Structure 1
Amino acid sequence: MQIQINTDRNVEGHEKFSHQVETKIKDVLNRFSKHITRIEVHISDENSDKGGMNDKRCLMEARMEGRQPIAVTHQATNLSLAVHGAVDKLKNLIEGTLGRLDNH
Structure 2
Amino acid sequence: MLIQINTDKNIEGHERMESYFSGILQNALKKYEDKITRLEVHLGDENSNKGGDGDKRCMIEARVAGLKPVGVVHHADTIEKAVSGATDRIKHALEHTFGKLNAH
Shared topology, TM-score over 0.5? Answer: yes
Identity in percent? 47
Structure 2 residue matching 1:12: 3-state secondary structure: coil
- Give the alignment of 1:1-104 within 5 angstroms: 1-104=1-104
TM superposition score normalised by structure 1: 0.98
Deviation string 1:26-58 (CA, Å, 9 cap, x unpaired) is 010011011100000000001111100000000
Shift, 1:103, TM fit: 1.3
* Alpha-carbon distance in structure 1 between the residues aligned to 2:100 and 2:68: 15
* Alpha-carbon distance in structure 1 between the residues aligned to 2:35 and 2:95: 11
What one-letter code is carried by the residue in structure 1 that aligns with 2:2? Q
Structure 2 residue matching 1:81: 3-state secondary structure: helix
Shift, 1:14, TM fit: 1.1
Shift, 1:15, TM fit: 1.2
* Alpha-carbon distance in structure 2 between the residues aligned to 1:78 and 1:38: 24
Indicate the RMSD between aligned Cα atoms, in angstroms.
0.5
Deviating above 2 A after TM superposition, structure 1's stretches of 4 or more consecutive aligned residues are none
